[in-house]
Amino acid sequence: MCPAVGLFSAAFALSGISSVDAQHVEILQLADKLHVAMTSGTAMMMIEDFLQELEVCLAIHLGTEERLMETFRFDRRTDHIREHDRARDAVARLRAASGAGSMPIAFDTMEFLRGWLRPHLEGPDRELGDFLREHYGKPVESARPLAIETGDVGRA
Ligand SMILES: [Fe+2]
Ligand SMILES: [Fe+2]
């Protein structure tokens, strides 16, 4: 599907939640756009706008997942949100460094996408998808209890 990050129908597990699945496709298509720009020599011209678009897309998507995790009381959400924060920080750093529009930033951005996106889709997002397929649309009471209710002092 997306040569940029070696994707990978096996890694891209559908959650069954249309908004989440559509956002994943959008992010993968963005990664592909960078890959095409890099191979056609236009990455320097587009990297600043690209990072802005990636930051917005990620903010929307990560927020969607985090609201679902809260609503359905996903008990692994502290670790999952930590991974989201890692991505937010990385993209913010890349954006801050991209002012002059440089090829190294394009490479660094692709490295981030390869290093974070695929493992995240294959790991935490697959786990969340399994959980949501089981619980989405059912009464929240059927989901697992909130970590804070069980004495876990993690992010609640
Ligand atoms: Fe996620
Ligand atoms: Fe995701």
Q: Is residue 62 in a domain?
A: yes
pTM score, whole prediction: 0.82
Q: Is residue 117 in a domain?
A: yes
Q: Is residue 75 in a domain?
A: yes
What are the distances in angstroms from CA 9 to CA 15, 117, 122?
13, 14, 10
Residue 56 belongs to what domain range? 43-137
Give the contacts of 141 (CB within 8 A, at least 6 positions apart): none
Alpha helices in 15-123 (DSSP H): 18-40, 43-71, 77-97, 103-112, 118-122
Q: How far is the CA of 24 from the centre of ligand 1 (A)?
A: 9
Q: Is residue 153 in a domain?
A: no
| Ligand that comes closest to the CA of residue 80 | 1
Domain count across the chain: 1
Count of CA atoms in the C-beta half-sphere (13 A) of 127:
11
User: What pLDDT tens digit does each residue of the chain (156 aa) get?
Assistant: 455 555 444 456 677 788 899 999 899 999 999 999 999 999 989 999 999 999 999 999 999 999 999 999 999 999 999 999 999 999 999 999 887 657 789 999 999 999 999 899 989 999 999 999 888 777 655 455 444 444 443 343
If we measure between CA atoms, which residue out of 20, 37, 28 comes closest to residue 72? 20
Q: How far is the CA of 11 from the centre of ligand 2 (A)?
A: 12
Q: How far is the CA of 16 from the centre of ligand 2 (A)?
A: 12
Q: How far is the CA of 62 from the centre of ligand 2 (A)?
A: 6
Q: Is residue 9 in a domain?
A: no
Q: Give how far the C-alpha of residue 97 lies from the chain's centroid of Cα atoms, to the nearest Å.
A: 21
Q: Is residue 36 in a domain?
A: no
